[in-house]
């Protein structure tokens, strides 16, 4: 069982389903004390480009209105935080900050799916043997995390790599995470779907570097918030690697506690 999950999507991103309320009710049924919403954050593209994988600029209002209402309605049962999963794309962050300036954003998680803005960048969630690409990906994650904008990185081993550089590059990332006490996400969605992330080898590297881990559901459907067998798989993975699990993020604890 997990007590908190900070990685939750909504239908607004266009590739998740279910009502906002259903995510909350599944989290409560599971026994969670904290549910953080982190749907894919829109960018204000200077050329007006509209991303097909993020909520639109026009949906931000509704995201906060709906979740704020539900947060109050369910406050006796669960603490709800409202955040985003977003990319670190230096040239677009200022405009994104301006977009969100008047909203009560609780946190961001870093979800780096591209190294360059859409639609120009290549998806990084591939299996590759290109060492330069892996190095660029790790550089990019560290640069993003260095800004202090993000509470942690979603699926940090999203880039699947085959070769010796896997060890050296991901050790470099995990060393940074351990030194800054940023937990490594065990991505429940990836584990449940038997994707290449989260990879047990990655968790072994994280444990060697002294990291802690957190289970992030990456729920694109409400039932993933109460998938006990997937949770138990994630727990087994962290135990096998010898990685201690974090229950709550420091500034995002249950409100009554």
What residues line the site for Zn ion (CB under 5 A)? 85, 218
**Least distance (Å) from Zn ion to the CB of residue 3?**
19
Pairing of strands 4-5, 79-86: unpaired
Instruction: Kindly tell me which of 20 and 218 has the beta carbon lying closer to Zn ion.
Output: 218
**Least distance (Å) from Zn ion to the CB of residue 158?**
10
Q: CA 192 to CA 231: how far, in whole Å?
A: 9
Instruction: Kindly tell me which of 85 and 227 has the beta carbon lying closer to Zn ion.
Output: 85
**Least distance (Å) from Zn ion to the CB of residue 154?**
5
Instruction: Kindly tell me which of 218 and 227 has the beta carbon lying closer to Zn ion.
Output: 218
Instruction: Kindly tell me which of 38 and 204 has the beta carbon lying closer to Zn ion.
Output: 38
Instruction: Kindly tell me which of 145 and 207 has the beta carbon lying closer to Zn ion.
Output: 145
**Least distance (Å) from Zn ion to the CB of residue 129?**
26
Residue pair 85/189 in contact by the 8 Å Cβ criterion: no
Residue pair 42/51 in contact by the 8 Å Cβ criterion: yes
Residues 6+ apart with CB under 8 A from 179: none
Q: CA 174 to CA 194: how far, in whole Å?
A: 22
**Least distance (Å) from Zn ion to the CB of residue 115?**
17
Residue pair 142/182 in contact by the 8 Å Cβ criterion: no
Question: Which residue is it, tokens 């060890």?
Answer: 167
**Least distance (Å) from Zn ion to the CB of residue 38?**
7
Residue of 32, 27, 26, 35 lying closest to 7 (CA atoms): 35
Residue of 232, 155, 152, 212 lying closest to 189 (CA atoms): 155
Closest residue to bound Zn ion by CB? 218
């Amino acid at each position: 069982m997990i007590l908190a999950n900070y990685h939750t999507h909504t239908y607004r991103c266009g590739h998740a389903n279910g009502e906002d309320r259903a995510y909350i009710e599944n989290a409560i049924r599971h026994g969670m004390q904290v549910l953080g919403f982190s749907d894919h954050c829109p960018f204000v593209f200077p050329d007006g480009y509209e991303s097909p994988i993020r909520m639109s600029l026009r949906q931000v209002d509704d995201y906060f209105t709906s979740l704020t209402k539900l947060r109050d309605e369910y406050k006796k049962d669960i603490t709800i935080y409202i955040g985003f999963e977003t990319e670190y794309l230096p040239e677009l962050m200022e405009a994104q900050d301006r977009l969100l300036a008047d909203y009560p954003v609780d946190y961001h998680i870093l979800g780096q799916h591209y190294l360059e803005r859409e639609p120009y960048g290549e998806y990084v969630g591939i299996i590759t043997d290109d060492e330069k690409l892996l190095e660029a990906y790790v550089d990019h994650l560290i640069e993003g995390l260095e800004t202090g904008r993000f509470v942690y990185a979603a699926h940090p081993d999203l880039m699947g790599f085959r070769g010796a550089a896997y060890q050296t590059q991901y050790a470099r990332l995990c060393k940074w995470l351990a030194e800054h006490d940023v937990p490594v996400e065990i991505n429940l969605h990836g584990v449940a779907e038997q994707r290449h992330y989260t990879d047990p080898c990655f968790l072994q590297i994280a444990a060697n570097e002294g990291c802690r881990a957190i289970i992030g559901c990456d729920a694109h459907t409400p039932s993933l918030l109460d998938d006990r067998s997937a949770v138990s798989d994630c727990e087994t993975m962290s135990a096998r690697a010898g990685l201690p699990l974090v229950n709550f993020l420091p500034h995002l604890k249950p409100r009554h506690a």
